[in-house]
Structure 1
Amino acid sequence: MPSPQVPSPSPQQPADRRTTTADRAAKVRFRRALALMAMTLLLPGSAQVAYGNKRVGRIALRVWVGLLLVSLVSLVLSTVHHEFAFWLVSDLTALQAVRLVLMALAIAWAALLVDAWRLGQPLSLSMSHRRAAVGVNGILCFSVAATLLFGAHLVGVQRTFIQTMFGSGDVTGAHDGRYNVLLLGGDSGIDRWGLRPDSITVASIDARTGQSTLISLPRNMQNFPFRAGSVMDKQFPKGFDCEHCMLNGVNTWAGDHLELFEDKKNAGIDATISAVEGITGLKVNYWAMVNLKGFRDLVDAVGGVKINVRSRIPIGGLGSDVYDYIEPGTQTLTGFQTQWYARARDGSDDYSRMARQKCIMGAMLDQLDPTVVLRNFQKIAKASSAMVSTSIPAGEVDRFIALAIKAKGQKIGTLSLVPPLVDTYQPDIALIQAKVAEAVGAPVPQTAQAAPAASDSPAASSASSASSEPTKAAKPKKPKPAADEPVTGGSLGSLKDGYVANQTEDLGAAC
């Protein structure tokens, strides 16, 4: 009886098993290649330590761990000691070091990722896996390098901003515990920049707490003295008493007599500082010239500024036709609208305009938070560079950033040397200096203590009466205008009673 036939194995079966084994091996190699790139992304150098040049890998790991430790320590220091963070973002040497580290890290990290791809033996992969590995590695290299190089670019923008905007002059200490910074504002143009400032304000800042008081001087003030011993004092020993000579004309006069000044580049500003010091009795530490057209760009860069517009503000005028209005109500103004809100005079007066300018200063300080700054950093840096020139040394930037942060949470006091407190044609300088000293909490100059009684001008007599009641002068009530006397612009009040924003201990409430 014949034995049963046993079917012979199909020759196709071993081939299937061989194909399945090869596929599995290919997938393992592909996963290994991806793992090496992932290791490099999370822990640069780890792939080299495991499969490549161990020496290179160890160096990369040490550098990476060192950078992480430095970053962690910097973060902790910045959290508990804010001055360190302010120094880090304003010191030119520190910024350059950070920029170079970021650039070097971008190149080295990308090189390590390429090496991790090589260690994955791409030629041993199937064509589809090879293409996928190349794509993943390209995306990782581009993402890491682009992120770090963009960070280096932002650091470079910050460094250029600090370098071009801030001065390199001498650092000056606080006077009576306060830093006094003269803020000059004017429109730019071929014949205007730096010639006749439209806004003259001293920001007096407490050196410890950051509490700030804004002291504004009217551009049309006349017959005022200069700081004793200054160039202008020698030219006008009896005060600026020439015909039609006003405070905003000091800059122009100095520009026409440059031969009298050692620093010819800043002669106009130095002359204006000597006038401000002679009027207020304060010693000015630094100055900042603000270009109002650049200010418009800054407002746009931060997304506008929220203002409570109390009456219609004309757009136009100042020698041309009014063609539009900013309507009353709380609204977010564009840079263009903010510029006109600050400078419009049609239908109002200079002193209303000064009150509106103070409201803008207070609103910007209150609304410009770190999130907005970071989100619009490049635009802000570009606008600020075009907006401000200043004598504040680069080495003092961190100090003033810290003071600005402290000031943000406090009320801003204001004092404007305008009617009815001051007669701008024949100002009582002794009274002014007493009021300024009272506003900033400084000792009242001896020459100012008894002098108000000697003045016979109506405005000075009224102000002298007010000065005998310091509590009322320091905290003026918010006048409610009569029905036939509407508020004008950004603050409660009127020319007759005074605009509250021009003299208050709480600028935010007055606006």
Structure 2
Amino acid sequence: MPSASTQTLGDDNRVVDRAARVRFRRAVSLMLMTLVLPGSAQLVAGNRRVGRIALRIWFALVLLGLVALVTSITSRDFAFWAVSNTLLLGVLRLALMALAIGWAALFVDAWRIGQPLSLRQNHRLAVVGVNGVLCFSVAGTLLMGAHMVGVQRDFMITMFGDGEVVGAHDGRFNVLLLGGDSGAGRWGLRPDSMTIASVDAETGKSVLISLPRNMQNFPFSPGSVMAKEFPKGFDCDGCYLNGVSTWAGDHTDLFKGSKQPGVDATIMAIEGITDLKINYWAMVNLEGFKDLVDAVGGVELTVRDRIPVGGLGSDVTGYIEPGTRTLDGHDTLWFARSREGSDDYSRMARQKCVMGAMLEQISPEVAVRNFQKIAKASTQMISTNVPQSEVDNFMGLALRAKSQKIATLSLVPPMINTAEPDIALVQQKITEAIDKSEGKQVALAAAEPAPSAASGKKKAKPTTPSLTGGSIGSLRDGYAANDAEDLGSAC
């Protein structure tokens, strides 16, 4: 039978153990309270003034966050404005950094309030571990958020400028998309492709109007510098549409004050040909385009013929085989650019298919998941004069356009003779395509007379030559993707 002193010692040990466990639970509880309600630990067991300030700030931030979340859900325009406003992004970045530092300080203070020196060694180590995990997890998450906000802000500053805001013309925004082979920071080389994205300012319904790079003998917009230099049109020997940029680069003295004389001259040509007023332009570095496609995990395209990769003739290094497949950046670029066994007009059709697929497949979820890669690729890929203040507007238009059919028109043979283009016909076709996109009635050309019953003969369908089109159709019927009311179905 144990003595009275032994029993008393056992009771004392149990009391000490119980007290140690209580102190340990109290220390852990203070840190968990700081995780859920920053400042609550100080309000209960520390500096109440600090606790009250921290809780007020926390509740204000939660309320502000909820309001912003609800507003973003109910108004996408607000969300687009928020992610494109550099001042707001700068303030948010600083706020996240300050919140990370302040929250970490509250965790350290909660650990101090828990009196770690009064704990047993194993409890003390556990508390240090818990506090470290919570502190670095919360602060690290907030600092990562601040970094992502900083990336977005830098992206907006690098990509977009403070140019003049231009309103819609006849209810539409006309954005000239130029594709070139220039490298990062070298945007002066002549464009390889030229497409106008004409977008309804209300609905976002779009028409892609492509111009062949080998067009000749075309006029410039009346009153422009180029119109004064070429009053009869761009009729010099060997002068093509894609050479306008090079000509302007060799005569920069005519474009005083212009940062992009080549682009400005090209716009003068595009406006003269199409009679459309260009709002903004964007030049895409086709080599850098590979990085963007890779950043979003590739793009799914239907390859209708074998597409040569690598160049012309002996430079061909392989083929993209027919079928519906997800292509990486390298193969997507060659799908859009390949000329072997093909022609410029086929390339224009395939390039439209790539544009349509990118618009359809890059969802907000994909953009968020790959945001940092996309931002890095985009700043290396695109040069544009779209002002920062207009970015939210175009983001909204892009989202509305995503849910609608994209119409296309390419000014190519057999409809248009690129050597001697009928400008009146060009402008008529553009007007018809836009009117049809907007649901307006379009006067149809007189149909060919039907074969007489007496002849009993039906007009034979023309044979379709085999070309590397990458889309339905052939040069004879203009390729479906080059002239379609629904780009998706043509690709």
TM-score using structure 1 length:
0.90
Match of 1:120 in 2: 114
Q: 1:103-182 alignment to 2 at 5 Å?
A: 103-182=97-176
Which residue in 1 is equivalent to 2:370?
A: 376
Q: 2:49 aligns with which of 55, 58, 69?
A: 55
- Matched to 1:28, the amino acid is V
Q: How far is the alpha carbon of 1:263 from its aligned partner?
A: 3.1
CA deviations over 1:286-326 (Å, ceiling 9, x no partner): 00000011110000000100000000000022475111000
Answering whether residue 82 of structure 2 is matched by residue 102 of structure 1, we say no
* Aligned counterpart, 2:348: 354
The two structures, once aligned, show a CA RMSD in angstroms of: 1.9
**In the superposition, relative to structure 1, how do residues 190 and 113 fare at CA in structure 2: closer, same or farther (>3 Å)?**
closer
Residues 349 and 471, structure 2, Cα contact 8 Å, conserved in 1: yes
Write out per-residue CA displacement over residues 180-237 of structure 1, whole angstroms, 9 at most, x where no aligned residue.
Answer: 0000001124997432111100000000010010000000000000000100000000
Out of 185-194 and 110-119, give the one that drifted further: 185-194
Helix, strand or coil for the counterpart of 2:204? coil
TM-score, L = length of structure 2:
0.94
Q: Give the 5 Å matches for 1:2-401.
A: 9-189=3-183, 193-318=187-312, 321-401=315-395
Instruction: Tell me if structure 2 keeps the 8 A contact 1:176–1:442.
Output: no
Code of the aligned partner of 2:119: L
Q: Distance in 2 between matches of 1:96 and 1:192?
A: 29
Q: Percent identity?
A: 66
Structure 1 unmatched ranges of 5 or more: 1-6, 444-464, 470-479
- The 1-side partners of 2:218 and 2:426 are apart by 11
Question: What's 2:456 paired with?
Answer: none
How far apart, in 2, do the equivalents of 1:26 and 1:481 lie? 94
2-structure distance, mates of 1:169, 1:160: 17
Q: 2:119 & 2:294 partners in 1: Cα distance?
A: 54
1:498 Cα deviation from its structure 2 partner: 1.0
Deviation at 1:242, TM superposition (A): 0.3
Q: How many residues align?
A: 474
2:476 matches 1:496: yes
Determine if the alignment matches structure 1 residue 408 to structure 2 residue 399.
Answer: no
Q: Kindly state the Cα deviation for residue 485 of structure 1 after the two structures are TM-superposed.
A: 2.7
Q: Which runs of 5+ in 2 are unaligned?
A: 438-442, 448-459
Q: 1:506 aligns with which of 466, 486, 489?
A: 486
Give the Cα–Cα distance (whole angstroms) in 2 for the partners of residues 8 and 411 of structure 1. 91
Query: How far apart, in 1, do the equivalents of 2:117 and 2:388 lie?
Result: 55
CA shift in 2, pair 1:273/1:8, >3 Å: closer
**Partner of 2:452 in structure 1?**
none
Q: 1:334 to 1:482 in 2, by over 3 A?
A: farther
Q: Could you give the per-residue CA deviations for residues 4-47 of structure 1, whole angstroms, max 9, x where no partner exists?
A: xxx88343221111111100000000000000000000000111
Q: How many Å separate the matches in 2 of 1:104 and 1:115?
A: 16
Partners of 1:330 and 1:384 lie apart in 2 by 26
Query: Which amino acid is the alignment partner of residue 355 of structure 1?
Result: A
Partner Cα distance (1:466, 1:279) in 2: 23
Tell me if structure 2 keeps the 8 A contact 1:481–1:494.
no
